[in-house]
Amino acid sequence: MLFLLSGCALLSPELAPKLTPELAPKLAGSVDSDHPRIMIGSVLNCNKLTYYVSPVYPKVAKKRRIQGTVSLRAVITKQGELRNLEVLKGDSLLIPAALKAVKQWRYTPCLLNSEPVSVIAFLDLSFNLTQ
């Protein structure tokens, strides 16, 4: 079960390893009581991004003409905050700008059967010099 939301993919921790085998070891170890499993057939009302801060393109990266995507894994908490940010890939000059912006993002809570739950989110931030 994969849920798409505002440019990020939300996965149940239980099903994530089946959908992304290369990340299975990391995700399998991250399931705990704060990250409930989402069962098929449950009513999931996914959260929406309510506060967005755009990443600032680093001057050094611009000067060196570095472009690319920074991919992050995070937990969106029951309160809509991002926690446990983990860099999956990206240029070392772009990563700090991506993290600084994403740490400020806020979401409305994700509801499962009308109860707030934490979810795992995969976020891709693109840095493109033509923007």
Is the full-model pTM beyond 0.75? no
Domains and CATH numbers, the chain: 61-131 (3.30.2420.10)
Residue 34 has pLDDT above 80, yes or no: no
pLDDT computed for residue 109 by the predictor: 86
34 vs 31, higher pLDDT? 34
pLDDT tens-digit profile of 87-105? 999 999 999 999 999 999 9
Query: Measuring CA to CA, which residue among 127, 19, 4 is closest to residue 67?
Result: 127
Mean pLDDT across 105-129 = 89
**Ramachandran class of 91: left when φ > 0, alpha when ψ lies in -120 to 50, beta otherwise:** beta
Among 20-29, 56-65, 70-79, the range of highest mean pLDDT: 56-65
Q: Which residue bears the tokens 């979810």? A: 119
